[in-house]
Amino acid sequence: MRKVLTGYAIELIPVTRENFQLLREWRNQDDIRAQMGDTALISAEQHQAWFDKIEHSQQQLHYIIQYKQQLIGSINVRSSDGLNLTECKLAEVGLYIATPEYRNNMLAFAPSLLLNDYLFEQLQIIELKSKVRSSNSAALKYNQALGYQLTPIADDNEFIEISLTADNYKKATQMVKRLLSRNRSN
């Protein structure tokens, strides 16, 4: 299950002992950390404990995004129902682009498209869910462009729940997939 995924001019490289420290550097950047559920700085010890937990997990996958030999961000998925990813039907996806020049352009869609294609087509996941800070309008617009539906969370003004089915995803991403395939071919 831990394989490099390639498409839309990018590669998703599994996080390993050789590259996991980069995620801590990115995750502790002020602009990225501010959008997370837990906004505290992550210590080296905390990061090592996290990696030890996820390294062989069958319930989650973590990738580094590579574009033209440059590492630009991270994307991950985890089972929402406690089952292995190969058995679950509901999963949660997280993404951040660490390199500012790739955040607000068409390329920012490539990691989500590549991972979502894999999750819906190969793993047969039925629905993806996540939470996004309600103040993060760029992320909300981004996810809506992918077909996510937004639902306010009762008694929580800080976050909005987002959910995506395979059908909504296919309908919403036809045009962006064509554009990425045409404009960003290797």
- pLDDT tens-digit series, residues 67-100: 999 999 999 999 999 999 999 999 999 998 999 8
Joined tokens for residue 186: 């290797």
Residue 184 has pLDDT above 60, yes or no: no
* The CATH classification of domain 5-183, taken from the options 3.40.50.150, 2.40.50.140, 3.40.640.10, 3.40.630.30: 3.40.630.30
What is the torsional sign of CA 103, 104, 106, 110? Answer: positive
Q: Which residues 6+ apart lie within 8 Å of 59 measured at CB?
A: 78, 79, 82, 83, 84, 85, 88
Q: How far apart are the first and last CA of the chain?
A: 25
Contact assessment for residue 73 and residue 95, using Cβ atoms and an 8 Å cutoff: yes
In whole angstroms, give the CA distance from residue 83 to residue 147.
Answer: 25
Joined tokens for residue 43: 């210590």
For position 185, what pLDDT does the model report? 44
As a whole number, mean pLDDT of residues 172-186 equals 74
φ/ψ of residue 173, rounded to 5: -105, 5
In whole angstroms, give the CA distance from residue 149 to residue 164.
Answer: 6
* Higher pLDDT, residue 178 or 134: 134
Residue 186 has pLDDT above 50, yes or no: no
For position 2, what pLDDT does the model report? 80
* Higher pLDDT, residue 29 or 181: 29
* Reported confidence tier of residue 1, pLDDT bands at 50, 70, 90: low
Joined tokens for residue 95: 């993404």
